[in-house]
Amino acid sequence: MTGLAIRDLTAGIGTSQIIRGLDLEVPYGEIHALMGPNGSGKSTLCHVLTGHPRFEARGTVSLNGNDLLGLDVDERARRGVLQAFQYPTEIPGVKLQDLLVEAGEERGIPPEEMTERIERLAPVFSMEPFLERAVNDELSGGEKKRSELFQLAVLQPRVALLDEIDSGLDIDAVRQVAEAVKSMRAPDVAVLMITHYSRILRYVIPDRIHVMVRGRIVESGGPELADRLEAEGYEAWRE
């Protein structure tokens, strides 16, 4: 399979395990949704995949058959394992445009190429007014989420980990963010979208939905699984 493959992943901090034997595959070209109760380990999974040094991880994670777990955080980013954060950080004093050009330079992408991507994608994400402003500084909640997605798109991920990019958005903004997510679908990109709400899944129809409870995937299914979750919640898997 081409794409992201995770087998028997265990991860935690010290002796406290947060991810407990997780199996998950997200093939290139597909968008998968990850849902699950608060504290089940969804954000931790993103941090572990991007290589946050705080977490110790065991198991197998590969991208196109190449091991990821042995690589440090910078190398994983260079290979395109990128995360849009649940709580985007503000970087006062650093303009968004400059941050992106610098991020490109770190990856060996020339400034002209980054500028071209920024100019092409800014209208898609309605980000033109924010390019000269400090990163996420004084932005509304919805604007921050859009900015996160825009930054990710400009860096052209191979694995896009979208952590609750639809939380706190008004109805129009959900639609806008959904369009942005749909625009990320590509033959060499795997998208994992974490959400608590089935409303965004009406606009972005995922290829698969996975349910995560206490550090493992306990159920996977087609888009119809979202309706079942909406009706029944996570009760069935809590025991």
Ligand X SMILES: Nc1ncnc2c1ncn2[C@@H]1O[C@H](COP(=O)(O)OP(=O)(O)OP(=O)(O)O)[C@@H](O)[C@H]1O
Site residues (vs Mg ion, CB under 5 A): 42-43, 86
> Helix 141-154 vs helix 96-106: angle between axes, to the nearest 10 degrees?
30
Rounded CA separation 158/194 (Å)? 17
Q: Which of 39, 110, 168, 221 binds ligand X (CB under 6 A)?
A: 39
In the complex, least distance from residue 174 CB atom to ligand X, rounded to whole angstroms: 17
Least distance between Mg ion and beta carbon 21 (Å): 19
Tokens matching residue 187: 């033959």
**For residue 209, what are the β-bridge partners?**
33, 221
User: How distant is the alpha carbon of residue 16 from its chain centre?
Assistant: 24
Smallest gap from residue 134 Cβ to ligand X (A): 26
Hey, which bits of the chain come out as E strands?
3-13, 16-27, 31-35, 56-63, 66-67, 81-84, 91-95, 134-135, 159-163, 190-194, 208-213, 216-221
Report the nearest approach of Mg ion to the CB of residue 36 (Å): 9
- Closer by beta carbon to Mg ion, 97 or else 195: 195
Q: Is 195 in the site for ligand X (CB under 6 A)?
A: no
* Closer of 32 and 42 to Mg ion (Cβ): 42
15 is a contact residue toward ligand X (CB under 6 A): no
Binding mask 75-94 for ligand X (x = CB under 6 A): -----------x--------
Which positions lie near ligand X, rule CB under 6 A?
A: 13, 18, 36, 38-44, 54, 86
